[in-house]
Amino acid sequence: MTSGWPMLVEQAVELAVSQGSEDAALTELERALAGPVGAADLVDAVGLTVDEPISVAFAHVVEFAAVGASLADLTAAAELSGHPDPEATVAALSALGVFDVEGSGAHTVDPLLLRSWAHRRPAGRGEGR
């Protein structure tokens, strides 16, 4: 569960109150996340655009984790990004909640975050920055 979920839950509650319907709120939230602004807001909320080296490393890691990867593979991908501390990078990404970990230990990127990543804002230029 990505660290962007608290923002989404808050938005869902606000929409449910304002629209008087949970179903309508979830439909509206889904519509917003399907658009580039909502998707970019999610990527910002996760924290992937705050730090350019983390953003660059995630761009490399996502290629491996899109289909499931071990920690060793993720660390190798982070190293390919040029980040000076690939193990710390993978740990930071894990702390941001970007991975779903399967019982086998394979790491995949949260599906909603994976879809949203294409709409990210440049690192350091997220909304409100």
Give the separation between CA 127 and CA 125, rounded to whole angstroms: 7
Query: Would the pTM count as exceeding 0.75?
Result: yes
What pLDDT, in 10s, does the model give residues 93-103? Answer: 999 999 999 99
What pLDDT, in 10s, does the model give residues 42-63? Answer: 999 999 998 899 999 999 999 8
